[in-house]
Structure 1
């Protein structure tokens, strides 16, 4: 069978696994190339993908070519290594951040190799138009060796592990990219980019008996599950989500939360708050925008998700769950004792700094409602305090939050005037809409982006990549088509032919004055809670 000049055999089909990649990594229609989303804050993010099959024996190889370093002129000039690819092997249950956990082995374009987040010099740097060959050897006694070539030149063995440590588990081809479009030769091409060393076989050409299939995603939407975390900041939501995903690897949960986004912004394995030289508040805001877009994409993909946000407002829970109609929708309530919450909050502040201001937490307490099974929630599970005890504690929190609120005439309302002129009503809602509407709502008329409208604030307007996002989304020629306009005049077609279609229209207006209180609210809305 021939497809786009590539010869394949139905019994040996092998490709990048669209169910086993980051939501912002687009696998092209031919399944042998891909690229990440690069607009807005996505340009800071790594995006990874793993192949459909792995191996446990023999001498096996594949090739990867960097077709293009996608322009990201909106990144600051201080951003380190805006175009990088990391390539290698990992186990089926590993995350997409190649080289940052055990049994995940990656060689990067910065001339570094990494495994278990331990980095060391290896080989040499590589970039656009370079071809990296990846070789794994199970026939070297008790050890398994992983080596690389660059443009046909042998760089040496980068990693060794033991067969005993692997315990019969397969290693899968894996790629991690930042702002680069890549293409693979698993052996489906008529001719390789460079001939492999003697004795190595392209993984595509192995018999199906010699390849191990990775975990398949849910076959239908009704088999998909979304778990919505519900709880105050620092109560333990992220800890529970990570542990639950690790103890249920067959589910392949995608954790959707600002904390997970920040993990994909690492530099040399370090989180940005420890080494980021730019504006931290702006980076958090961009991470929140990325999260909102990922939630939109997630609702159209057959996967399992954990929505790791506070979700204490009943109306926000309904709005966030509505796009996931047809999924198994469940709420996971984390409500520790008040003493435990204070202890965890103090620990998080000492370790990570204080992200959520006290007045915002009090507002959440004032408005925290217990979720009930309903038309958009099939089940509600309480992890620590059970329902009766949790309801008693939440009544105390509701009262505490309302008493701590400012008098009605002093309540801030996100308006240009800053405060309400008349009293009445309950404690001003901080509007913790950290979901698909973009979070922060500016009632002065500049904000108010919605789930269906993308992120729109001030005069900023961008065609949503998710509008054209499809599993096999490319034109009839599989061509790369990128037009980027800035100020209505810049038009740049890109040469890549790998199925990339991303249109970016931007118009910027800079306001000379920003209300201090408004910025405070905007900043909090971008924080991971």
Structure 2
């Protein structure tokens, strides 16, 4: 900001001209992003400290001496070394990337904890081990290291600290115990499979050690049992080998605001003696273990599918079916519905009649989603972005952090009759999710994406491009005729309209963590980021003029 006195006497009073430089969206995107959470901030700080120490010790841009000869023998050695490191990572039994984005795996890969700030304290976070088993009598141990403080949760929140531990198939989601072939024992003294909960064992919590045992050597059944602090709790689950069909079961944990640690056999001494005949899974031969899905090796192998469509058009349905039909891709679905699924209580989704404020919970779920999208852009995985994404500016903004990924848009554009029918069905099942005026605003600003600098491909699922183009133009006209919502059209504080320029629309978008309506449009401008045109506002003592990316403010002081 620059303050400049105007000595010229063009005004009968003293004036100040304030120039405020507003960075455009493209420029601000190049700035270094702040860490999404405290553990990433710590990692960044550690990396910076290492760099500072290296500079102090004289290691600058070039570490290799000029006279050092490196022939083909050296590079063969380097490739062999890299291959061995890759094989070591492939064969090491531990926790890896097969976990929720908000579950932080420690550097040794044998412990972890969830993100608990803000609305994340409501969420379950799961992780599955790299290898599973199909034979033998196998075990591992889990210790609840800490109940992470979450004082920002309301007192009415049921079970703010709880862990669920057990086994699951590689194809199961991270929500342990909530689908077939996913078996969990929880700290509330319940066991669950396929969202069917029953009393089992005892409650457990901070500092308790749970032993997990699986027995493939008892005839036609596979048995799963647990222990608490060395005390056997008997068999919890039985499943036929025919039902498993030779598929491996993997160690799996699901936590809510708890830090956990595992002993797969890598420790010199177990927490408690294991039963006779059982082997820690880490100590089994590689031939007796099954490797789970290996994630993409580079960003270029990663894929992000951006859903595009109006509310209730079928985006979530398509995303879930596509993820289920491509289990090898291990898609992470990024959307509010996926967030709400991780807020379940005893396997049931929270509804609008739950004990707390529903509107606050939805707002916090949106904040969690925004943070997860930031984290996702730094992880080598496959994603489906399950949001409306009908604004052209939103499409660019959300795809930009995923540069280097295979970026694709999936446009769901049913006929108008089908959309109305689906909207009525969704309203009957879930209630009114998006108000009519917000849908009209989306229609007014609906932009179909094109292949270009931020999209490698665009796929139309229902109506194809030509028909969808005609329908979207019809929606644009329908939305513009409706105009802004009645309660947003006029602002009495300074007189005139709130929007910037005639015909301005209050855009319903979740560009910041607060949600709600934001003034981002106007004739010739790009909202508060500035545009190439000119936007002005004049009051009794203040004159504001925006030219390009510069705001000029005249303060008239008598």
Q: TM-score range with shorter-chain normalisation?
A: 0.7 to 0.9
- Counterpart Cα distance in 1 of 2:429 and 2:442: 23
Aligned to 1:363: 441
Structure 1 residues 129, 245: closer, same or farther in 2, change over 3 A?
A: same
Contact 2:491 2:497 in 1 (8 A): no
How many Å separate the matches in 1 of 2:188 and 2:237? 17
Structure-to-structure mapping, 1:1-20, within 5 angstroms: 13-17=92-96, 19-20=97-98
Q: What secondary structure sits across from 2:338 in the alignment?
A: helix
1:214 aligned residue: 292
Aligned partners of 1:46, 1:404: CA distance in 2, in Å?
Answer: 42
Q: 1:203 to 1:302 in 2, by over 3 A?
A: same
* Equivalent residues of 1:367, 1:429 under 8 A apart: no
Decide which of 252, 261, 269 is 2:330's aligned counterpart.
Answer: 252
- Please say if residues 505 and 519 of structure 2, whose CA atoms lie closer than 8 Å, have aligned partners that are also in contact: no
Q: Which of residues 93, 116, 120 in structure 1 aligns to 2:194?
A: 116
Q: Is structure 2 residue 283 aligned with structure 1 residue 283?
A: no
Sort the Cα spacing of 1:259 and 1:59 in 2 relative to 1 into closer, same or farther, 3 A.
Answer: same
Moved more, 416-425 or 176-185: 416-425
- Alpha-carbon displacement from aligned partner over 1:345-366 (angstroms, at most 9, x marks no partner): 0111111111100000011011
Q: Of 478, 487, 505, which residue of structure 2 is paired with 1:428? A: 505
- C-alpha deviation, 1:431, in angstroms: 3.5
Partners of 1:275 and 1:423 lie apart in 2 by 39
Instruction: Select the residue among 152, 157, 177 that pairs with 1:99.
Output: 177
Give the greater-gyration-radius structure (CA): 2
Which runs of structure 2 are paired with 1:488-527 in the superposition (5 Å)?
Answer: none
Q: Residues 318-357 of structure 1: CA distance to partner in whole angstroms, max 9, x if unpaired? A: 0000000000000000000111111110111111111100
Q: For 2:107 and 2:409, how far apart are their aligned partners in 1?
A: 35
Pair 1:266–1:54, CA change in 2 (3 A): same
1:343 corresponds to which of 421, 424, 444: 421
Of residues 139, 160, 165 in structure 2, which corresponds to 1:87? 165
Out of 29, 37, 45, the residue aligned to residue 115 of structure 2 is: 37
Tell me, in whole angstroms, the C-alpha distance in 1 between the residues paired with 2:458 and 2:503.
27
The answer to whether the Cα contact below 8 Å between 1:63 and 1:186 also exists between their aligned partners in 2 is yes
Instruction: Assess if the C-alpha contact under 8 Å between 1:412 and 1:418 holds in 2.
Output: no
For residues 152 and 487 of structure 2, the distance between their equivalents in structure 1, rounded to whole angstroms, comes to 39
Q: CA deviation at 1:405?
A: 1.5
1:403 aligns with 2:481: yes
SS in 1 for 2:475: helix
Aligned Cα root-mean-square deviation (Å): 2.2
Alignment of 1:257-268 (within 5 A): 257-268=335-346
Q: 1:76 to 1:423 in 2, by over 3 A?
A: closer
Contact 1:51 1:173 survives alignment (8 Å): yes
Matches within 5 A, 1:265-344: 265-273=343-351, 276-344=354-422
- The answer to whether the aligner puts 1:127 opposite 2:205 as a matched pair is yes
Residue 125 of structure 1 aligns to a residue in which SS? coil
Tell me the alpha carbon deviations over residues 197-246 of structure 1, each in whole angstroms, 9 at most, x when there is no partner.
Answer: 11000000000110000001000000000000000000000000000000
For the residue of structure 2 that corresponds to 1:356, the secondary structure is coil
- Residue in structure 2 matching 1:234, options 290, 312, 315: 312
By how many angstroms is 1:437 displaced? Answer: 6.2
Name the SS for the 2:138 alignment partner.
strand
The answer (yes or no) to whether the contact 1:54–1:213 under 8 Å persists in 2 is yes
Q: Paired residue for 2:281, among 198, 203, 208?
A: 203
* Secondary structure class of the residue paired with 2:381: coil
Any runs of at least 4 consecutive aligned residues in structure 1 with deviations exceeding 3 A, and if so which? 9-12, 409-419, 421-427, 436-444
Does the 8 Å CA contact 1:402/1:427 hold for their aligned counterparts? no
CA distance in 2, matches of 1:168, 1:274: 42
How far the C-alpha of 1:11 sits from its partner, in A, is 9.4
Q: With the length of structure 1 as denominator, give the TM-score of the two structures.
A: 0.79
Deviation at 1:274, TM superposition (A): 5.7
- Structure 1: runs of 5+ lacking an equivalent: 1-8, 445-449, 451-529
C-alpha displacement of 1:396: 1.0
Query: Residue 151 of structure 1: CA displacement?
Result: 0.3
CA distance in 2, matches of 1:414, 1:156: 68
Q: Using the alignment, how far apart are the partners of 1:282 and 1:149 within structure 2?
A: 39
Are 2:212 and 2:227, in contact at CA under 8 Å, matched by a contact in 1? yes
Alpha-carbon contact 1:262-1:287 (below 8 Å) kept: yes
In structure 2, the CA distance between the partners of 1:332 and 1:193, relative to structure 1 (3 Å rule), is same
1 CA distance for matches of 2:439 and 2:129?
Answer: 43
The 8 Å contact of residues 132 and 149 in structure 1, kept in 2 or not, is answered as yes
> SS of the counterpart of 2:351?
helix
Q: Number of aligned residue pairs: give it.
A: 434
Deviations 1:467-506 (A, max 9, x none): xxxxxxxxxxxxxxxxxxxxxxxxxxxxxxxxxxxxxxxx
Report the secondary structure of 1:295's partner residue.
Answer: helix
Does the CA contact (< 8 Å) of 2:499 and 2:506 recur in 1?
A: no
Alignment map for 1:65-84 (pairs within 5 Å): 65-84=143-162
Whole-angstrom distance in 1 between the partners of 2:247 and 2:226:
21
